[in-house]
Structure 1
Amino acid sequence: MDAQPRAAVKTAAAYASRGSSQYDLILTLMCVVIVISNIGATKGVQISLPGDWTIVTDGGFFLFPLAYILGDVVSEVYGFRAARRAIFTGFAMALLAVVSFAVIIALPGFNDSYGAEKQAALEMALGPVWQIVVASLLGFLAGQLLNSMVLTRMKDRYREKALAGRLMASTGAGEFADTLIFCAIAAPVIGITDAGGFFNYVLFGFLYKTLIEYLFVPVTALVIRVIKKREPTYAAAEWEPVAA
């Protein structure tokens, strides 16, 4: 007698193995983005707009949303455990950068005028402002973990459906936590001391980062689809043949 035909049915939410070159590349880029944006965050930025409107932010504002986009890709394709690994690795690399800058600045330099000027420039540009470091690391850790958790929990429920909605919901939750924690600690360091300035700082930071990520949702979704197709372990996990 012929064997019973086998049908493909969807089981649990699918994730690829993190033992792949794509995961390594995304993790590397994520760490670089975090380190550079943390350096930029030490500079306060004030942008004047028509009508006496002023935007208050920091020097890393244009780059940091990319870290969340990469976090979305890792969470959707590789799952929460892989995303948590990437987040903790990025956290460790940011901390290593700060400690390295502190050691470099502390090393004795040349005593001539040029050496003194270089030392002063290094201290000004890369000197660890520990409140900024703590604010950035804690905000990133809380925001990225919340972002990944919301995205993967929603995927457990909706599987491959509603990707854009899942990306937007997780982004809103993660960015709010990140922005609030970072601004609460960093605001006094960059010179924001009044309630109005703090509200402006938090509101602009949250809206800017969130809207940028929302605008890039189609690109993020496209990247996710491409990586899923290139990950043979994801295709194997997504469908599992069972007896009809």
Structure 2
Amino acid sequence: MTRILPGILAMAVVVVASNILVQFLFGQWLTWGAFTYPIAYLVTDVMNRVYGVAAARRVVFIGFLVGVACSLVGTQIMGEFGPLVTWRIALGSGLAFLTAQLLDVAIFDRLRSGRWWRAPLASTLVGSSVDTAIFFFVAFSASLAVLEPGNDVAWANETLPLLGAGPAAPLWVSLAVADWMVKLSLAILALLPFRAIVGKLSPEVA
């Protein structure tokens, strides 16, 4: 446990910071949390490369527990329009994180013997895509209103041009696409710190 403590602490910081920063808008389609949350994949991939699958999964599960704790706290804090975190958002966030991160771990492990960049890039791209799809659909889709009947998500289902210029789609779809594009961009940029960190922690596998 001691050897992966830095990874655990890093994951906890990322999860807590993202839960706070998601409350602050960045432009029309994003929040600041969109730029911090993808770092979780970097943490998971470094742990996987240096310490193996079991260590990476342990870091993921601890990050999941931290995320659940943050969500539970958020449901008890009242903002201008109600709780900062609704139960649907809490459910979507937890389900998306755990599913996507474990998928990331599995894909990384399957590809670990290939070129150094293939495993972190492929696992993060797939994990991020699944994460985005699960979270936004569970948290905001009108078709899942039964999950929390008292939570009005009509605002998220208002039909608007996609990202302000594309075909008509529910607002939550534009939010999801914008979030997904940021994650994909950061997945590519994260290859540089991944290479540097792994090279420092375990030069023989860099």
Q: TM-score range by the shorter chain?
A: 0.7 to 0.9
Match of 1:83 among 35, 56, 60: 56
Query: Following TM superposition, by how much is the alpha carbon of 1:173 offset from its aligned partner in structure 2, in angstroms?
Result: 0.7
1:124 aligns with 2:95: no
1:192 aligns with 2:156: yes
Contact 2:48 2:109 in 1 (8 A): yes
1:227 aligns with 2:191: no
Alignment of 1:99-178 (within 5 A): 99-100=72-73, 122-124=77-79, 127-155=84-112, 158=113, 161-178=114-131
| Higher RCO, 1 vs 2 (CA within 8 Å, ≥6 residues apart) | 1
Normalising by the residue count of structure 1, what TM-score does the alignment of the two structures yield? 0.66
Normalising by the residue count of structure 2, what TM-score does the alignment of the two structures yield? 0.77
1:107-138 Cα shifts (integer Å, max 9, x gaps)? xxxxxxxxxxxxxxx52187442211111111
**DSSP 3-state at the match of 2:35:** coil
- Unpaired runs of at least 5, structure 1: 1-17, 48-54, 106-121, 230-234, 239-244
Identify the residue that residue 25 of structure 1 maps to in structure 2. Answer: 6
Moved more, 73-82 or 31-40: 31-40
Contact 1:80 1:152 in 2 (8 A): yes
Match of 1:64 among 33, 37, 46: 37
- Unpaired runs of at least 5, structure 2: 142-152, 160-168
Indicate how the Cα distance of structure 1 residues 94 and 71 shifts in structure 2: closer, same or farther if over 3 A, else same: same
C-alpha separation in 2, matches of 1:197 and 1:98: 23
1:73 aligns with 2:46: yes
C-alpha separation in 1, matches of 2:70 and 2:174: 29
Higher helix residue share: 2
Calculate percent identity across the aligned residue pairs.
26
Identify the residue that residue 97 of structure 1 maps to in structure 2. Answer: 70
C-alpha separation in 1, matches of 2:51 and 2:154: 37
Q: Aligned Cα RMSD in Å?
A: 2.4
Indicate how the Cα distance of structure 1 residues 203 and 29 shifts in structure 2: closer, same or farther if over 3 A, else same: same
Contact 1:44 1:190 in 2 (8 A): no
